[in-house]
């Protein structure tokens, strides 16, 4: 880790520094007073020049780094003479004092510590020593207790010796995670959502602990956990932020290896489902009955539900949520996969989810602030990967209509999904039936509803009484519109293919606003 004049000027910006860099800026590793410096000079030292007499008879090196105090830029340039274009220097008009000395000392110590920690981090990742040794190494740099939590807010690593010295840390260690009171506190403070979306650490003040906390998510794309540091021993500084970023990158690499094992219960069916979702099993369906090592009965009535935990603005107790869903309906199975909760509803043969079942699931989603998508019914467990994607599409399309936590049912969005796939390759106008397109354009020009009237008439099986009732208009009004349609375009109502084509064309046109 190297330091340049830009870093020094940023550190001492309240003293109004000016920098003049003529060669490579990033080569400083320490600082000392010029008048008592050990000879020979080196290019990796920042020399403090506090008065003009310090430079008397000095033999400066090309690219040497100097920091002038108590003089102007012109005065410093005059002192350097012909060397002014050959050295790197910064000028601070105020005098060199104890406050500046302490700032420089702490900054250099911190950056050098980062270099040592970085080297240790590479060594730990290479030898796969695990999360706990990584936290122990970094705690020496922070000099404050560090806590690492998983997606369910369970404690997976901390510096226990330092944590137990303070009541807040001892409570977390005793609970091996957060209590329900702490969940409520996090959600009340409404910082959880900010932390999950931020690539850099966020510092907040914790009233109950009486100190600042630095919080950082390990991965902004998927909720696999976060880091908390309590500033109980010393205040935070700029180096802490950089150390935290290094720690989260190291933990990310390690946790991705351990994530599936850690988040699940170790049942054989969990590993089997993971292989299916990863596309690692290509066994013909007829051999599914022979896979008795799955140790779970999956019936012919299956639904796949996906809960995207990263979308939630609330702190989620993942294991509590999994338990709630497992007890909601008999034979329900859950697992964690890619930071998401997967719920498989395994219903008795030939039965499906009833409206009250959907409402029960929806109520749980709203209660816990969950964004969940549920697939269509399917029969073979080997098809779960496709229906997993179907559930994800339900969330994606559903949240475009309603951004609030809810249960999004794929069956309600299948036409939008089909249209999206089709229109990636074709224009909607190419697909639309010419007669329906003509009526749509006519309605735009004349502020009428002929296309809609034809659509409703067709989906209600050409029953004008039922269609007019559904449209909340008089039957004679609908008959008048149908007569008008016949005068504009000739519809063969006896042709089932034409009727289907017209219905689909109108459905697609509603989505694409033809």
- Give the relative orientation of helices 464-471 and 450-459 as an angle to the nearest 10 degrees: 120
Torsion angle of C-alpha atoms 440, 442, 443, 445, degrees rounded to 10:
130
Q: At 307, give phi and psi (nearest 5°).
A: -110, 115
Overall average pLDDT of the 47-59 stretch:
86
Number of domains in the chain: 4
Over the stretch 399-442, which tens digit does the pLDDT of each residue have?
988 899 999 999 888 777 776 766 666 666 677 888 988 898 89
Joined together, the tokens standing for residue 204 give: 């907040």
Q: Which CATH number does the domain housing residue 278 bear?
A: 3.30.70
How distant, in Å, are the alpha carbons of 32, 223, 425, 499 from that of 105? 10, 38, 62, 81
Q: Are residues 435 and 368 in the same domain?
A: no
Residue 223 belongs to some domain of the structure: yes
Q: Are residues 384 and 490 in the same domain?
A: no
Residue 102 belongs to some domain of the structure: no
**Do 320 and 307 form a contact (C-beta atoms < 8 A)?**
no
Q: Are residues 156 and 248 in the same domain?
A: yes
Question: Of the given ranges (169-173, 372-376, 449-453), which has the lowest mean pLDDT?
Answer: 169-173
CA end-to-end distance (rounded Å), the chain: 59
- Tell me how far apart the alpha carbons of residues 309 and 395 are, in angstroms, rounded to a whole number: 12
The pLDDT of residue 45: 87
Longest dimension (CA), the chain: 109
Q: Are residues 53 and 85 in the same domain?
A: yes
- pLDDT above 70: residue 2: no
- pLDDT above 50: residue 140: yes
Query: Which residues are paired to 334 by β-bridges?
Result: 343
How distant, in Å, are the alpha carbons of 223, 277, 325, 336, 402 from that of 319? 14, 21, 10, 10, 27
Decide which of 56 and 426 is more confident: 56
- Tell me how far apart the alpha carbons of residues 114 and 240 are, in angstroms, rounded to a whole number: 9
Select, from the ranges 119-128, 296-305, 380-389, 427-436, the one with the highest average predicted confidence (pLDDT): 380-389
Of 72, 96, 120, which marks where a domain is finished?
A: 96
Of 261, 280, 303, which marks where a domain is finished?
A: 261
Of 216, 238, 261, which marks where a domain is finished?
A: 261
Overall average pLDDT of the 294-307 stretch:
73
Q: Are residues 209 and 148 in the same domain?
A: yes
Sheet holding 18-20, edge to edge: 18-20, 88-92, 65-69, 45-49, 30-33
Q: Are residues 306 and 357 in the same domain?
A: yes
422: CB partners within 8 A, 6+ apart: 431, 508
Using DSSP, state whether 478 is helix, strand or coil.
Answer: helix
Query: Counting Cβ atoms within 10 Å, is residue 104 exposed (0-12), middle (13-18) or buried (19+)?
Result: buried
**Do 428 and 514 form a contact (C-beta atoms < 8 A)?**
yes
Q: Are residues 163 and 250 in the same domain?
A: yes
Helix or strand holding residue 106 (H, E): helix 98-127
How distant, in Å, are the alpha carbons of 118, 262, 318 from that of 124? 10, 20, 29
Q: Are residues 281 and 335 in the same domain?
A: yes
Q: Which CATH number does the domain housing residue 82 bear?
A: 3.40.1390
Q: Are residues 113 and 153 in the same domain?
A: yes
Overall average pLDDT of the 472-499 stretch:
91
Q: Is the backbone peptide bond immediately before 131 cis, with ω within 30 degrees of 0?
A: no
> Which of these, 475, 502, 500, 479, lies nearest to 490 by C-alpha position?
502
pTM given for the model = 0.46
Sheet holding 340-347, edge to edge: 333-337, 340-347, 301-308, 371-374, 406-409
Q: Are residues 253 and 283 in the same domain?
A: no
Residue 170 CB neighbours (<10 A): 13
The pLDDT of residue 287: 43
- Tell me how far apart the alpha carbons of residues 49 and 333 are, in angstroms, rounded to a whole number: 71
382: CB partners within 8 A, 6+ apart: 276, 281, 283, 285, 288
pLDDT band at 114 (very low <50, low <70, confident <90, very high): low
Q: Are residues 239 and 301 in the same domain?
A: no
Domain of 51, in residue numbers:
5-96
Over the stretch 355-403, which tens digit does the pLDDT of each residue have?
899 999 999 999 999 999 999 988 888 888 899 999 999 999 899 888 9
The pLDDT of residue 294: 46
Residue 103 belongs to some domain of the structure: no
Residue 224 belongs to some domain of the structure: yes
Overall average pLDDT of the 153-161 stretch:
84
- Tell me how far apart the alpha carbons of residues 121 and 487 are, in angstroms, rounded to a whole number: 78
Residue 466 belongs to some domain of the structure: yes
Residue 31 belongs to some domain of the structure: yes
154 secondary structure, DSSP code: B
- Tell me how far apart the alpha carbons of residues 398 and 409 are, in angstroms, rounded to a whole number: 8
297 secondary structure, DSSP code: -
Residue 320 belongs to some domain of the structure: yes
- Report the DSSP pairing between strands 65-69 and 45-49: parallel
Q: At 33, give phi and psi (nearest 5°).
A: -70, 135
Q: Are residues 406 and 459 in the same domain?
A: no
pLDDT band at 122 (very low <50, low <70, confident <90, very high): very low
Residue 421 belongs to some domain of the structure: no
């Amino acid at each position: 880790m190297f330091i340049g004049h830009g870093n020094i000027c940023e550190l001492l910006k309240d003293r109004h520094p000016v920098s003049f860099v003529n060669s490579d800026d990033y080569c400083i590793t320490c600082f000392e007073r010029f008048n008592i410096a050990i000879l020979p000079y080196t290019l990796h030292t920042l020399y403090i020049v506090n008065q003009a007499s310090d430079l008397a008879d000095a033999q400066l090196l090309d690219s040497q780094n100097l920091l002038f105090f108590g003089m102007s830029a012109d005065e410093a340039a005059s002192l350097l003479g012909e060397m002014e274009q050959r050295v790197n220097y910064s000028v601070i008009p105020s005098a060199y004092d104890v406050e500046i000395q302490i700032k420089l000392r702490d900054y250099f110590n911190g950056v050098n510590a980062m270099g040592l920690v970085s080297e240790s981090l590479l060594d730990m990742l290479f030898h796969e020593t695990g999360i706990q040794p990584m936290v122990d190494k970094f705690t020496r740099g922070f000099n404050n207790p560090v806590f690492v939590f998983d997606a369910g807010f369970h404690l997976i690593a901390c510096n226990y010796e330092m944590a137990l010295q303070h009541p807040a840390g001892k409570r977390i260690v005793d609970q091996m995670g957060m209590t329900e009171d702490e969940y409520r506190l996090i959600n009340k403070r409404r910082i959880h959502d900010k932390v999950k979306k931020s690539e850099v650490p966020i510092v907040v003040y914790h009233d109950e602990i009486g100190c600042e906390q630095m919080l950082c998510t390990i991965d902004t794309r998927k909720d696999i956990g976060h880091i908390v540091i309590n500033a109980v021993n010393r205040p935070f500084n700029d180096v802490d932020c950089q150390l935290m970023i290094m720690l989260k990158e190291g933990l990310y690499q390690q946790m991705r290896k351990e994530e599936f094992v850690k988040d699940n219960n170790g049942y054989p069916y969990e590993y089997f489902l993971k292989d299916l979702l990863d596309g690692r099993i290509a066994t013909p369906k007829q051999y599914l009955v022979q896979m008795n090592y799955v140790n779970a009965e999956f019936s012919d009535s299956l639904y796949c539900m996906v809960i995207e935990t990263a979308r939630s603005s609330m702190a989620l107790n993942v294991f509590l949520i999994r338990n709630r869903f497992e007890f909601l309906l008999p034979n329900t199975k859950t697992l964690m996969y890619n930071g998401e909760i997967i719920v498989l509803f395994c219903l008795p043969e030939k039965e499906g989810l009833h409206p009250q079942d959907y409402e029960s699931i929806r109520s749980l989603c709203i209660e816990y602030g969950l964004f969940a998508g549920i697939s269509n019914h399917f029969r073979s467990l080997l098809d779960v990967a496709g229906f997993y994607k179907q559930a994800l599409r339900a969330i994606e399309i559903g949240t475009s209509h309603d951004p609030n936590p809810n249960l999004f049912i794929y069956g309600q969005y299948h036409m939008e999904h089909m249209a999206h796939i089709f229109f990636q390759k074709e224009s909607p106008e190419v697909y639309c039936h010419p007669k329906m397109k003509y009526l749509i354009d006519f309605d735009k020009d004349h502020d009428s509803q002929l296309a809609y009237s034809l659509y409703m008439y067709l989906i209600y099986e050409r029953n004008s009484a039922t269609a007019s009732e559904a449209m909340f208009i008089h039957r004679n009004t609908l008959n008048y519109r149908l007569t008008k349609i016949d005068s504009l375009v000739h519809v063969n109502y006896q042709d089932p293919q034409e009727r289907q084509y017209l219905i689909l064309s109108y459905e697609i046109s509603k989505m694409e606003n033809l």
